[in-house]
Amino acid sequence: MTTSEFGELTKGVFPSILRDTYADPKTQPFWDAAWEDRLVAPKCTSCGTFRLPPSAYCFNCRSRDVQWVDLPGTGTIYSFTVVRHPLHPDFAVICPYVSGVVELDGTQGAGARMLVNIIDCDPETVRIGDKVQIVWEHVGDEMSTPRFRPIHGASKARRR
């Protein structure tokens, strides 16, 4: 572990460079739940379409009404990249790290994917289709950074 302007750096873990949620009324419920380590997503009251990040209008039916639904916090890797070249000198410590697109269980494809850092995985063997589960890191006073880690072969969740 190394300390830098981005805080403590650990191989494979992209640091929380944003420490505030900049929430508005349409995103606040997500962060309130996240602070309690729960994953919730807005579901269109009219047609049932999920949409993340939360948006004002449903892209399927244009309704603005949503209900917030608890999700299991598990999902499947839809695509990923192994970042090996540090775009900041300090990031040499964290490279290689894996980031990608996770499709969330309990939703229906595009509209409820999350773009996340995938930790506690072997960059040389990670594959599309791997099952993953969410891990939250609480940052500052209000931010919870979501990451995912493999459901099998994982080490303990990172918290600080």
Partner 1 sequence: MTIRNKAAVVGVGATEYFKRGQSYPESEFSMACTATLAALDDAGLTVDDLDGFSIYSNSCDPAAVAAELGVPEVRWATTLTSGGGGCAGALGVAAAAIDAGMATAVVTLMTLQQLTKRLGGSAVGGMLQYALMSEGSSPYGGSGIPPSAAFTANNGLLSPGHSFALLTQRHMHLYGTKREHLAEVCISERENAIKRPTSLRTEPLTLDDYFNARMISDPLCLFDYTMESDGAVAVVTVAAERAKDLRQPPVYILASAHGGTGRWGPALFRYFQIPDDEFASSGHRPVAKRLYEMAGVGPEDVDVALLYDHFSPLVIMQLEDYGFCPIGEGGPFVADGNIRYGTGTIPVNTHGGNLSEAYIIGMTHVREAVEQLRGTAVNQVEGAEIALTTGGPASLPVSGTLLRKG
Please report, as ranges, the residues that interact with partner 1 according to CB under 8 A: 14-18, 20-24, 26-27, 30-31, 51-55, 59, 78-85, 87-88, 97, 99-101, 109-111, 113-117, 123, 128-129, 143, 145
Burial of 27 per CB tally in 10 Å (0-12, 13-18, 19+): middle
Is residue 30 helix, strand or coil? helix
Of 63 and 81, CB closest to partner 1? 81
Of 140 and 153, CB closest to partner 1? 140
Of 84 and 159, CB closest to partner 1? 84
The least distance separating partner 1 from the CB of residue 141, rounded to whole angstroms, comes to 14
The least distance separating partner 1 from the CB of residue 127, rounded to whole angstroms, comes to 8
Of 64 and 88, CB closest to partner 1? 88
Of 46 and 123, CB closest to partner 1? 123
Alpha-carbon span 158 to 10, nearest angstrom: 10
Render 40-99 in DSSP notation, one character per residue. Answer: EEEEETTT--B-SS--SS-TTT----EEEEE--SEEEEEEEEEE-S-SSGGGGGT-SEEE
Alpha-carbon span 109 to 15, nearest angstrom: 27
Cα-to-chain-centroid distance, residue 156: 17
The least distance separating partner 1 from the CB of residue 22, rounded to whole angstroms, comes to 5
The least distance separating partner 1 from the CB of residue 17, rounded to whole angstroms, comes to 6
The least distance separating partner 1 from the CB of residue 42, rounded to whole angstroms, comes to 12
Spatial neighbors of 5 by CB under 8 A, at least 6 apart, are: 90
